[in-house]
């Protein structure tokens, strides 16, 4: 295997690791906190709303937005590391 193919495979492997980790976080927050753990979270209040309700309506959107920005930052770093940036 040549060096370019090896580097491309390492880049793609790291890219998939980043994507998978962000998807796990998104799943835990949106499905876990908004559906599975809603009864436990509803024992607490945030801004006058039950925490489970807040996660289902606002928290998952907020976390998704943060993950989108974080993904862009991490991919820029990865692109620079593998010298594939624009």
Segment 15-38 shows an average pLDDT of: 92
- The domains of the chain are located at 3-81
Sign for the CA dihedral angle at 52, 58, 59, 60 comes to: positive
Tell me what percent of the residues of the chain surpass a pLDDT of 70. Answer: 99
pTM, two decimals, is 0.81
Looking at per-residue pLDDT, the higher value among 79 and 30 belongs to: 79
DSSP string, 11-39: HHHHHHHHHHHHHHHHHIIIIIIIIITHH
Scanning the structure block, which residue is given the tokens 């998978």?
20
pLDDT at 86 over 80: no
The per-residue pLDDT for range 45-75, each reduced to its tens digit, is 988 889 988 888 888 899 999 999 999 999 9
User: At 1, is the pLDDT very low, low, confident or very high (cuts 50, 70, 90)?
Assistant: low
d(CA 70, CA 19): 11
């Amino acid at each position: 295997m040549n060096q370019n193919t090896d580097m491309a495979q390492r880049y793609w492997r790291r890219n998939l690791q980043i994507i998978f980790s962000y998807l796990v976080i998104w799943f835990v927050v949106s499905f876990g906190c908004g559906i599975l753990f809603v009864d436990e979270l509803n024992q607490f209040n945030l801004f006058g709303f039950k925490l489970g309700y807040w996660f289902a309506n606002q928290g998952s959107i907020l976390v998704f937005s943060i993950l989108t920005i974080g993904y862009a930052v991490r991919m820029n770093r990865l692109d620079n590391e593998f010298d594939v940036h624009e």
